[in-house]
Structure 1
């Protein structure tokens, strides 16, 4: 075979392998990169996470509504203890959600969340939220989950947010399988066996 053709074929093969490797790397990294992009920009209603409440409190008020859902496969009832609150921009608020398990053994769930309108996500900050960790609930148990949040006063300086009077914070719990849940189920059945003797 002609050396020029062999060289060209090697270059094409190397280029194709490089493209395939790059596409695989991007596919692997796309979920964490997209999550990071959403957290930085508030895109898609992704809220911000804050270590503490800082900044000024303004007179401008917004109403924050709360929506609670569970995936059909998770045997919990889940609700907000109050349907809405009115807060001033920059003012912290503490509200509670409540979940009750209707299962016959321990179950686990983790919540995903967003705010609407989406454009508010960059200014909605959660200091404490149950959505950051997996939650395990015993059969028949009712658990209260706190959410400590504020709407950043910087929102007031954004002309495209002047029309926002109501913000909706939505949570949906999805069932989880984990080693912690397996341990909780095993402990539950051991305790039941000891009680029955």
Structure 2
């Protein structure tokens, strides 16, 4: 859906349904996008689940504050991003990350890690997930969610030039990671 269609879609379901119905429609339409974006930023299944739930709770509470300044998808992804950033600032996240790091040092691969590995069949996706967050984020927003440079800039709170620069550097880093993988295994 383009931006105008998204705005019309939200306006239509807002005018014709109760807030619970609007939320249900948004979850059906955009739930996977929200979860995938949360996962791409945290790289943890259970955290992505929690953040997705938190996002839709926030959406429900603030449903009628949508100002039609961006597409519905961009609005939801911005809420997702802010929720992830808030989560990462919390003491809980720092403790869990430290525990994950320590427990991963001397243990075998968990079943969850094996499933994630199998799901990450696409080599490029593996490389993207290795990137630092600021590069990973622009690649995912641009490539997967197909947001425009302006939408990405608005979502991240940076200039379009910064988005273009990060996108350029992200692509270069993916190529470099791929090349080092090829030369390292040869």
TM over 0.5: no
TM-score, with structure 2 as normaliser: 0.27
Larger radius of gyration: 1
TM-score, with structure 1 as normaliser: 0.26
Q: Higher strand fraction: Structure 1 or Structure 2?
A: 1
**Structure with the greater relative contact order (CA < 8 A, sep ≥ 6): 1 or 2?**
1
Q: Higher helix fraction: Structure 1 or Structure 2?
A: 2
